[in-house]
Amino acid sequence: MVQLHCNFLVTTLTCLATGALIGAAQGYWIAYFKIPSFIVTLAGMLVFKGLALALLGGQSLGPFSSVFQKLSSGFIPEFLPRLGHYNMTSLLLGIFAGAAMVIASLRNRARYERNGIEIEPLPLFIGKNLAVFGIIVYLATLIASYRGLPNVLIIMALLIGLYSFVTSRTTIGRQIYAVGGNVRAAKLSGIRTERLTFLTFVNMGVLAALGGLIFAARLNTATPKAGLGFELDVIAACFIGGASAYGGVGRVGGAVIGALIMGLMNNGMSILGIGIDYQQVLKGLVLLGAVCVDVYNQRRA
C-alpha cells in the first residue's frame, strides 16, 4: 500500500494468504513430522520476527490509506435516523445480539433437557440470562451514544459467533477437541489427525494475519516491533478463560473473557502508574496462577 500503492483489498487478501502459508509451513512440521508444536511455533516466532525486521530494514513504514485504517478505527455506517444522541443502528444491533444470546441459551437448555443432561435451576438460569442481556444492552447504549459500533468489534463478534458454532455444533469442532485431548485415541477412532492438525494451523495462520492487519491499521504504520510480548498475554488469556495446558478443554467465549481480563489488567496497571517492569511480574504471576488452577483441576478429576 505504501511503496507499490496497491489497493487495500488486494493487500489484505495477500496478507491473509501469507498467514495461511505460514500456518501451513508450521503445521506441516507439527502434523507430519510430529515435532512438538511449542518448539515449532517458538522457532517460527523467531524466524518471522527476523524476516519482518529484515523486510522493513529496522524502520517503520506508513502511513496507510484512510480506508484501510477504518479496519481498526472506523465505525459502522448509520442506516437509521438518530434518536436524540443515539445511533439507532448500533443500538438495535446490540439489542439483537443480546436477544440472540438468550435464545441460544434457551435452545441449549432445551437440548440438554431432551438428552437427560443435568441443568442448572430455572431461577439461576433466568437470572443469569437477564444479567447477560442487561449488560449487553447497557454496553450497546453506551456505544450508541458515542459514534456507534466500531468495525473491529463487529469483526470480533462475527469471529466469536463463527468459531463458537464450529467448535460446539460441528463434527470438525468435536474432532479438534478429541485431538487436543488425546491424539492417539482420536486416531484410533478414525479421525485423520494429521490433516486436521495441519488445517488447524493453517486456520490459525489466517487469524494471526488478520490480527496483524488490525493492529497495523490501528497504529497506522508497519513496525518490526509490533506485537512484541503479545504471546504472554494470549497464553494467559486462554488459561484464565478455562483452556487446559493438557488440551481438549476450553471454549471460545472463555478465551474472550480471559482476553478482556488481561486487557483490563493492562489498562488498570497503566492508569495506576505501575511501571512496565512490575507489570510483567504481575502478568507472569497471573499466568502461573491460572496454570496452577488448571493442574489442580486435572488432578482432582
Q: Which helix (H) or strand (E) holds 190?
A: none
pLDDT at 301: 63
- How many Cα neighbours within 13 Å face the side chain of 13? 4
Tell me what the mean pLDDT of segment 201-219 comes to. 93
273 band by pLDDT with thresholds 50, 70 and 90: confident
pLDDT at 88: 86
Render pLDDT for 127-184 as a digit per residue (tens, 0 to 9).
Answer: 989 998 998 889 888 888 888 888 898 899 899 999 999 998 899 999 999 999 899 9
- On whether the CB atoms of residues 226 and 212 are closer than 8 A, the answer is yes
Name the most confidently modeled range: 144-148, 209-213, 228-232: 209-213
Tell me what the mean pLDDT of segment 229-250 comes to. 84
CB-count burial class (<10 Å; 0-12, 13-18, 19+) for 79: exposed
Greatest pairwise CA separation for the chain in angstroms: 62
198 CB contacts (<8 Å, ≥6 apart)? 24, 27, 28, 30, 31, 32
pLDDT at 243: 85
Render pLDDT for 47-61 as a digit per residue (tens, 0 to 9).
Answer: 998 898 888 888 888
pLDDT at 22: 95
Residue-range domain boundaries for the chain: 229-301
Name the most confidently modeled range: 21-25, 46-50, 288-292: 21-25
Tell me what the mean pLDDT of segment 94-106 comes to. 89
- On whether the CB atoms of residues 3 and 13 are closer than 8 A, the answer is no
What gap in Å lies between CA 160 and CA 153, rounded to an integer? 10
Q: Is residue 82 pLDDT above 80, yes or no?
A: no
49 CB contacts (<8 Å, ≥6 apart)? 224
pLDDT at 264: 86
